[in-house]
């Protein structure tokens, strides 16, 4: 369906010849396009921040302590050092479970004794 807007007088065109659904459709279409253009014109904000100690995961904290120790650590020592350095009390069982998963997947952690881990 082609609309020839220029063949009718201005008053007739604006009153009845264009269906309401058609106008609503184009209004929403242009609104979305305008929103997109404004987003593209706006300066981009950097959303990712460098990871600091407060943004570290529990595993990152444990690996950080193991990396600094440069020797095998028992889970009790590991938890104490995490609490001292990062101020976070971790659940013992979940930390052991996560470290054992790293050992089994060969992701840079080895078990040297029961509940004792080191970085490889």
Tens of pLDDT along 75-106? 999 999 999 998 888 899 999 999 999 999 98
The DSSP bridge partners found for residue 118 are: 110
Q: Give the pLDDT score at 86.
A: 87
Instruction: Give a yes or no: residue 48 inside a domain.
Output: no
Q: Give the pLDDT score at 32.
A: 94
Q: Do 96 and 65 fall within a single domain?
A: yes
Q: Do 88 and 30 fall within a single domain?
A: no
The count of other CB atoms within 10 Å of the CB of residue 88 is 13
The CATH number that applies at residue 97 is: 1.10.10
Provide the domain limits for residue 16.
7-41
CA–CA separation, 73 vs 62, rounded Å? 10
Number of domains, the chain: 2
CA–CA separation, 77 vs 12, rounded Å? 85
Q: Do 68 and 93 fall within a single domain?
A: yes
Residue-level pLDDT, tens digit, the chain, 120 residues: 555 555 555 555 555 688 999 999 999 999 999 999 998 888 777 665 555 545 788 889 999 999 999 899 999 999 999 999 988 888 999 999 999 999 999 888 999 999 999 988
Q: Do 26 and 67 fall within a single domain?
A: no
Q: Give the pLDDT score at 28.
A: 94
Q: Do 106 and 69 fall within a single domain?
A: yes
């Amino acid at each position: 369906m082609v609309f020839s807007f220029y063949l009718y007088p201005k008053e007739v065109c604006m009153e009845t010849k264009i269906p309401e659904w058609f106008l609503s459709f184009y209004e929403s279409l242009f609104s979305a396009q305008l929103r997109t253009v404004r987003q593209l014109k706006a300066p981009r904000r950097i959303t990712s921040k460098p990871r600091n100690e407060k943004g570290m995961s529990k595993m990152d904290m444990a690996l950080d302590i193991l990396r600094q120790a440069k020797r095998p650590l028992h889970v009790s020592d590991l938890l104490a050092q995490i609490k001292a350095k990062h101020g976070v009390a971790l659940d013992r069982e979940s930390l052991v479970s996560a470290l054992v998963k790293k050992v089994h997947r060969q992701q840079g952690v080895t078990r040297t004794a029961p509940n004792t881990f080191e970085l490889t």
